[in-house]
Amino acid sequence: MNTREHMIHMAKVVMLNAYSPYSNFQVGACLRTSNDEYFIGCNIENVSYGLTLCAEASAIANLISAGNRRIVEIAVACSSSTFCSPCGACRQRLSEFASPDTLVHMANVDGEHQTVLLGDLLPQPFSQQHLGEN
């Protein structure tokens, strides 16, 4: 199994742990670091919808909690037949710890996948450069 397949598999496995009683839409994410460590997360809904935690955000929290700061590859799997790309907020979150060249693998419930670059999903992220020299 190559890295992409392994990451998609991990994202699909953690997707089954999603807490999604309101939308019934499960999402799993797997992040890989440059030293081949993997961090997973799933979506966690809340009755107050704005408090819902996306799978990518959950995986980023695990990555940071373990002391890592760089993402070199991303996989997102969902319980739909369409591909689920990271939402706008998660694209921004991912851009904080990844580069525009970072591969984003998106997998659907039918076993299909598509790969894009993070920079194509978010071509002009808000960055530290926007804060000026502090």
By annotation, the residues acting in catalysis are: 56
d(Cα 39, Cα 113) in Å, to the nearest integer? Answer: 20
Can you say whether the dihedral through the CA atoms of 5, 68, 16, 88 is positive or negative? negative
Q: Which pLDDT belongs to residue 128?
A: 83
What pLDDT, in 10s, does the model give residues 51-106? 999 999 999 999 999 999 999 999 999 999 999 999 999 999 999 999 999 999 99
With a CB cutoff of 8 Å and minimum separation 6, the contacts of 124 are none
- Of residues 97, 96, 134, 102, the one with CA closest to residue 118: 102
Provide the 10 A C-beta neighbour count for residue 61: 14
Domain with residue 10: its CATH number is 3.40.140.10
Place of tokens 């990555």: 63
- Domain ranges, residue 77: 3-131
Question: Number of structural domains, the chain?
Answer: 1
